[in-house]
Amino acid sequence: MQNRDVVPNSPSEKCDCSLASGNLPRRTESFGTTKAFDHQTLGIWDLYIEKPSIKWHIPLCPFLADKTRFIDDLQYLWRAIHDLSGPLLLARLAVSAALALSPAASLWFTGNFLRLVQATINDGELDGPTLVRLMCGRVACSLAQCLLERVDGWLYLAFDDFVKRHYSRYAFKHVARIDVPTFMDPSVSQRLDAVSLRYGFCTVGRTLDSLLRSGCSIIVLFTQVSVLAAILREQGMGSTLGFLTCFCHLVVCALTQMELSNSSLEGLAYAATTRNEDYVKMEGLKQLVSDREHRQEIVVNGLGPYLSRQFLELSCRLGNRAGEFWSHFLIYQRKTNHAIHLVKWFAGELPEIAFILIVSQKLVNFPMALAAFTLTQSAAKNLRLNLNSIFQQTGDFSSQLSNLRAIYAVSEIENQVVDGTEDLNPNRDGVSLEFEDVSFKYPGSKSYALRHVSFKVQTGQLCVIVGFNGSGKSTILKLTARIFDATEGTIRINGCDVRRLKLDDLRRSMAVLFQDYSLFPVSIKDNIALGNPNHATDQDLINEAARLGGADSVIRRLSDNWDTYICRPDSVHDVIRIQHKDDDGAIDRELRRMTGTQLPQGLSGGQQQRIAVARTFMHTLGRDTAVGLLLFDEPSAALDPVAEHGMTPCSALRPHW
Ligand SMILES: Nc1ncnc2c1ncn2[C@@H]1O[C@H](COP(=O)(O)OP(=O)(O)OP(=O)(O)O)[C@@H](O)[C@H]1O
């Protein structure tokens, strides 16, 4: 194993093995980073890893590292508490606080037992009533703790459920309103990933829970230390030992955290690669025989025996140099942690060494010193648990607050397509559409999808747009519906710039079928009904839309007719396959029978298109709808000639090419 300082200077140098010679300067800004990297050779692996800075694990340290950010994030915490305030939160706080105080109460009773024993030894007489009082108090304390733990468990689940429900509604509302260019924006995608609509917002629950636990751990810590100090004050030796034990446990905790963070790559930039051709080829062969897609070729070419021979040869050549990166990495980390481990061991043993030394000096006090030491040790065990959880929870705290910020930040995402203020009053005779010198680049694209396009479609006119693939026909539809805004030029509806029109009015005035339409993961009926949310429960209109789109005959043939799902999002089929000789999918079939779920319903491309066309027609139906513009992008691309012939002609329709 070798260890050298490496700083990549240029892309080519970065990949060059000569980097390992360590001749390059230690620090460079050529990639915009001032970080220095170590190069480790681990078996056949080259690991380039950022030099870790020494992390002192003092609780609250993460806050001090980025104070401004932390203070800024606190407002989201306050907002969350405000949003979630109610009887459930209050009950949770009260029970947690009571639970946090209970270890100190138990310790107080135990300490008083110790005092009673000391008094009995000194006076030669036992104070019976005090003993009974202390015993009853101790038992009551344990019972209360037991009860509170049960209530806390129940409250935890109820509160977690409440938090998930609250934030899933909150995020759903704000995610649903986002427009296409904003949704496509990579920075927005990242922010949306953080709130993961589908996985139930575990993060907020976790953040609040860990906050609560940190608070409780701090209460436990302070109350326990105060009670312990009060009990041991009278015994000079006991308090010395108490202090020493607490201090040593604190050191052990800090070192444990240090050890943990040293053995993890979290937060460090690293890359590992191997240039060993034999290993790379061996991994390729493993993939080749495992992946289903290559099986046909392996069989038809009779590759089985040849591949086995090759694998054996490579494996022999590599011998024990081969190995997963992580197993090498673990060995490497163990070596770096030796020193910490040694100090940790010494800190753990120090209280007992001190006890033996002190007692050997003052043999008279031996029984009391032993009792005090035992009490201190058991209290210290609890302290250590609390310290550990404070270390861990405060370590994660900054990132948890950032999660909270991410959820609230969804409501602050501004749509790129800005709403207009003017009303549009279309009528059923249609609207006019005009493009004046319109050019457009898709977000993130360098080239123009449309360049200097001008045309005019009069009210009630049928316009067919034809052109080569990629000439911008679909883009015209997207700009008309303001899915995107034109980069240059003006688009007018009824003579008014579309940017000035209210988006609601604009979208209500047109029915659009995009070439890249999608069917929703809801029932077929809802798929059509969602074309017109105002009439989503009107079965007559849905029937009519299905008839116009040619989807009625398709729906009649489906197993669940209108209620058929193309893909059910509610079915969980995590079948653990136990390989029996006679299991030819029987377990899967039985589970499906028991849960009443079918295999996903397959629809042909043409059948799917009929559903999508029906949804577009649904938008035009109903007495209060005033669609003046129909935009169809290759509506018959997947239809058979009969269905294509049966399609209703529309005012703006283009054939497929
Ligand atoms: N989301 C996108 N991001 C970047 N560029 C895009 C995007 N969609 C389309 N383009 C580009 O814009 C240009 C016009 O595409 P458009 O889909 O409007 O063409 P089209 O005439 O409808 O093509 P076709 O006849 O194949 O349907 C093409 O060069 C395409 O590569």
SS3 letters across 161-181 = HHHHHHHHHHHHHHHHCCCHH
Confirm or reject: Cβ of 657 under 6 Å from ligand 1: yes
Torsion of CA 349, 351, 355, 358, to 10 degrees: 120
Cα–Cα–Cα angle for 403, 405, 407, nearest 5°? 75
Specify the pLDDT at position 91: 92
Confirm or reject: Cβ of 470 under 6 Å from ligand 1: yes
Specify the pLDDT at position 435: 92
**CA-to-CA distance for 356 and 579, rounded, in angstroms?**
61
**CA-to-CA distance for 394 and 61, rounded, in angstroms?**
8
Specify the pLDDT at position 527: 83
Confirm or reject: Cβ of 478 under 6 Å from ligand 1: no
Backbone angles phi, psi at 183, to 5 degrees: -65, -35
Q: Which long-range contacts (CB under 8 A, 24 or more apart) does 65-73 make?
A: 65/398, 66/398, 69/398, 70/398, 70/401, 72/405, 73/398, 73/401, 73/402, 73/404, 73/405
**CA-to-CA distance for 105 and 207, rounded, in angstroms?**
28
481 CB neighbour count, 10 Å cutoff: 20
Residues 6+ apart with CB under 8 A from 367: 121
Confirm or reject: Cβ of 445 under 6 Å from ligand 1: yes
**CA-to-CA distance for 212 and 250, rounded, in angstroms?**
21
Specify the pLDDT at position 125: 80
Query: Could you report the per-residue pLDDT of 462-506, keeping only the tens digit for each?
Result: 888 888 888 888 899 999 989 899 999 999 998 889 999 998 888
Backbone angles phi, psi at 7, to 5 degrees: -130, 115
Residues 6+ apart with CB under 8 A from 22: 4, 5, 6, 39
Q: Is 480 exposed, middle or buried (0-12, 13-18, 19+ CB in 10 A)?
A: buried
Confirm or reject: Cβ of 487 under 6 Å from ligand 1: no
Confirm or reject: Cβ of 172 under 6 Å from ligand 1: no
94 CB neighbour count, 10 Å cutoff: 13
**CA-to-CA distance for 387 and 217, rounded, in angstroms?**
7
**DSSP-assigned letter for residue 337:** T
Q: How far is the CA of 442 from the centre of ligand 1 (A)?
A: 9
Q: How far is the CA of 514 from the centre of ligand 1 (A)?
A: 12
Confirm or reject: Cβ of 207 under 6 Å from ligand 1: no
Which stretches of the chain drop beneath a pLDDT of 50? 1-30, 199-200, 575-578, 648-657
Q: How far is the CA of 476 from the centre of ligand 1 (A)?
A: 10
Cβ proximity of 457 and 430 under 8 Å: no
Confirm or reject: Cβ of 361 under 6 Å from ligand 1: no
Specify the pLDDT at position 624: 74
419 to 416, 422, 505, 512: CA distances (angstroms):
9, 10, 10, 19
Confirm or reject: Cβ of 469 under 6 Å from ligand 1: yes
Q: How far is the CA of 407 from the centre of ligand 1 (A)?
A: 34
Q: Ligand 1, atom 2: nearest CA belongs to which residue? A: 442
Q: How far is the CA of 656 from the centre of ligand 1 (A)?
A: 14
Specify the pLDDT at position 440: 93
Q: How far is the CA of 511 from the centre of ligand 1 (A)?
A: 21
**CA-to-CA distance for 587 and 585, rounded, in angstroms?**
6
Q: Ligand 1, atom 4: nearest CA belongs to which residue? A: 442
**Angle at which helices 338-361 and 236-262 cross, to 10°:** 170
Cβ proximity of 359 and 183 under 8 Å: no
Q: How far is the CA of 637 from the centre of ligand 1 (A)?
A: 16
Specify the pLDDT at position 500: 92
**CA-to-CA distance for 620 and 617, rounded, in angstroms?**
5
Q: How far is the CA of 465 from the centre of ligand 1 (A)?
A: 14
Confirm or reject: Cβ of 471 under 6 Å from ligand 1: yes
pTM: 0.64
Residue positions counted in the chain? 657
464, 465, 475, 483, best to mutate for ligand 1 pocket (most atoms within 8 Å of CB): 475
Domains of the chain by residue range: 66-263+340-412, 277-326, 429-566+605-657, 570-600
Here the tokens at position 380 are 């210290």
The domain defined by 429-566+605-657 carries CATH number 3.40.50.300: yes
**CA-to-CA distance for 283 and 91, rounded, in angstroms?**
56
Q: How far is the CA of 294 from the centre of ligand 1 (A)?
A: 33
Confirm or reject: Cβ of 63 under 6 Å from ligand 1: no
Ligand 1 atom nearest 471 alpha carbon:
21
Here the tokens at position 370 are 């032993």
**CA-to-CA distance for 128 and 322, rounded, in angstroms?**
72
Specify the pLDDT at position 119: 76
For the complex shown, is ipTM > 0.95?
yes
**CA-to-CA distance for 197 and 127, rounded, in angstroms?**
64
Work out whether the CA dihedral 257, 262, 266, 267 comes out positive or negative. Answer: positive
Residues 6+ apart with CB under 8 A from 400: 203, 206, 207, 210, 211
What is the DSSP secondary-structure string of 257-326?
Answer: HHHHHHT--TT--EEEEE--HHHHHHHHHHHHHH-GGGHHHHHHTT-HHHHHHHHHHHHHHHGGG---HH
185, 435, 442, 468, best to mutate for ligand 1 pocket (most atoms within 8 Å of CB): 442
Ligand 1 atom nearest 515 alpha carbon:
27
Confirm or reject: Cβ of 442 under 6 Å from ligand 1: yes
- The fold adopted by the segment(s) 66-263+340-412 is ABC transporter transmembrane region fold (1.20.1560)
Q: How far is the CA of 627 from the centre of ligand 1 (A)?
A: 26
